[in-house]
Amino acid sequence: MNEAIEPATASTRQIHWENVWQSERPTFGRYYQRWLQRVYAFIVPKGSRVLDIGCGNGDLLASLEPSVGVGIDFSETALAKASKKHTEINFQCFTAESVSELAETYDYILLSDLINDLWDVQAVLQQIAPLCHPGTRIIFNFYSQMWRFPFRVAQKFNLATPTLTQNWLTVKDLVSLFTLENFELLDHWSEMIVPLPLPGANWFNRYLAKIPPFRWLALSNLAIARSVMIPAINNPSCSIVIAARNEAGHIEELFNRIPKFCADMELIFVEGHSSDNTFEAIEQSMSNHPEVSCKLLRQPGSGKGDAVRAGFNIASGDILMILDADMTVRPEAMLKPARTASPFPDPGCLSNLQLTSG
């Protein structure tokens, strides 16, 4: 996010949007909202289980004709209007930061024009994760930074809904947040160049908004993501791939310093056509440490990437790790706790080393 927003701002924003929904000031957003409904209808099949976070008056959610539709908002005025207008939808008063209390899963979770207004996007992603099953898709649409100044002008002349300070996230910003919270971006694109029902607007918005350079002027970004389901593994096994080229002097030290952090752990040495006796040094150390499960192969190609892929191809562990034979990363760093929960019972994920599931 582009600014640090204090927690107290949560109540400030709630009051702001309550006032917005009470005022009912006219804006020129109806064409934009109807366009969004058509776009979402192409993504969300009728009869799906849909959660709309920040549902407002409920028009978008109702237009999708869900079998189970739940709309949440922190504005009681907005929810009262939505409930009166769309009696078939279940509307509830929640903040986005507390949606996990719903304790259900949904096929689609919508965050329409919401993330730029949130005070903690990462916290909301944390709340969404328990509401996802493996097939759940999370759909975001949010305004492009290119429209910051036009929005200010429109708001000054009461032509657009007034807002408080926005985050103005980009797709790259969103992907970074996804990475932190185990979400994966599946697709993204731009929508709408002309946000008013002017002659030719539909043609511009349908075709030009998708191609450069016109798409760089688009009003809205759309993104589809999913929660990456990491299965819980009891007592996982681990394979450590060590690419070694001209590192004969480090091999015995590696055997002595690599910590034993899980019961079933193997070392996979991929020797990269060394000009010294690295291959022989590995063989000797394997003989010196018969208690260590170890594999050795000569690299089939060249380059570190080729060596790592060759090691992964013969790995048998649930968790795959990469360790440099030159020890630019200390082997002991493998015991350094990671930011997120480790699959190992004792600290055991890498911080500087690379980790992937097998």
- The count of domains in the chain is 2
Task: Based on the fold, state whether residues 145 and 205 are members of the same structural domain.
Answer: yes
Any domain includes 232: no
Structure tokens at 131: 């509401």
Q: What is the pLDDT of residue 8?
A: 41
CATH of the domain at 106: 3.40.50.150
Question: Of 168, 198, 227, which closes a domain?
Answer: 227
CATH of the domain at 332: 3.90.550.10
More confident residue, 146 or 340: 146
Q: Measured between alpha carbons, how far is 352 from 358 in angstroms, rounded to an integer?
A: 19
211-228 core/surface letters (b: 16 or more CB in 10 A; e: else): eeeebebbbbbbbbbbbe
Q: What is the pLDDT of residue 222?
A: 95
pLDDT tens-digit map of 225-262: 999 977 666 788 999 999 999 999 999 999 999 998 88
Task: Based on the fold, state whether residues 292 and 267 are members of the same structural domain.
Answer: yes
Question: Taking all residues of the chain, what is their mean pLDDT, rounded to a whole number?
Answer: 86
Task: Based on the fold, state whether residues 108 and 257 are members of the same structural domain.
Answer: no
- Between 127-131, 191-195, 204-208, 244-248, the lowest mean confidence (pLDDT) is in 204-208
Task: Based on the fold, state whether residues 271 and 222 are members of the same structural domain.
Answer: no
Task: Based on the fold, state whether residues 119 and 246 are members of the same structural domain.
Answer: no
Task: Based on the fold, state whether residues 95 and 26 are members of the same structural domain.
Answer: yes
Any domain includes 233: no
Name the residue range of residue 287's domain.
Answer: 238-357
Task: Based on the fold, state whether residues 204 and 272 are members of the same structural domain.
Answer: no
